[in-house]
Amino acid sequence: MARSDPVDESMEKKVFWQKQYRCGLCGSDFRALRIFDQAIRLKQRDLFLRATYDYPDPQYYAIIVCPHCYYSAFDKDFELVPNKLDSQQTFQLQQALKKAKESISLNLTEERALKEIIDLYSLAVVTYLIAEEPYKMAQLYMKLGWFYLDDHNREKAAIAFSKSYRHFLETYERGRISGEADGILFCLASIQIILNNVSEGFRWLERLTQDYKNTNSPYLAAGKALWEEFRGKKT
């Protein structure tokens, strides 16, 4: 079971701390970097609600990776996902990660390059693909789309956003995530606009407005801002 190391009196001056984990896939014990909450500084959110931060960017440390077998997942899921897998899925994940180790060299230190972050998120994609969790896949691919744009690779960004859209759509159509439909609708709209399918994006914004017009959904105002910004580009 994951546990936190004791925090000393000077913690408010620190940025990182070490959290102890036990890998549910290979059984190895290891420590991973976490960020103190008070060290996180949000700079802004853009029209698509993408957050940018002062150093350190918590998105760079959101994926926990076992340095021994490369099993990767979000912090809250790290110990849970292996217990959900059947024997065939476990074998598939082990084999996929064994292959990934041949081409990916992990950097789990404080200073992480963008390419290394892309590798970490790509490893997590393997986990959630085999675990059959489309909502997490959608979130990961959307992050990868932004990272690829940051890396000036528009082609890979478009591929990642398209995959994110597909998984968000699957999640929405199956109604698998209770209480998250408004956020999913916003993401569906955002991705289509990012991919220059503005009319299709507006179709999702209309759905968002219709379904949540009498609610306090935070995505309503964000959707209206997108509408105002891009309505001149609607065809």
pLDDT band at 9 (very low <50, low <70, confident <90, very high): very low
- In whole angstroms, give the CA distance from residue 187 to residue 165: 8
| Predicted local distance difference test score (pLDDT) of residue 235 | 57
Is the pLDDT assigned to residue 85 strictly greater than 70?
yes
Determine the CATH number of domain 134-235.
Answer: 1.25.40
What distance in Å separates the CA atoms of residue 155 and residue 43, rounded to the nearest whole number?
27
- pTM, rounded to two decimals: 0.91
Interatomic CA distance for residues 124 and 60, integer angstroms: 13
What is the average pLDDT value for the chain, to the nearest integer? Answer: 92
pLDDT tens profile 140-153: 999 999 999 999 99
Range list for CATH 1.25.40 in the chain: 134-235
How many CA atoms, within 13 angstroms, populate the side-chain half-sphere of residue 123?
Answer: 30
The 10s digit of each residue's pLDDT in 27-64 is 999 999 999 999 999 999 999 999 999 999 999 999 99
Task: Please say if the pLDDT value at position 13 is more than 90.
Answer: no
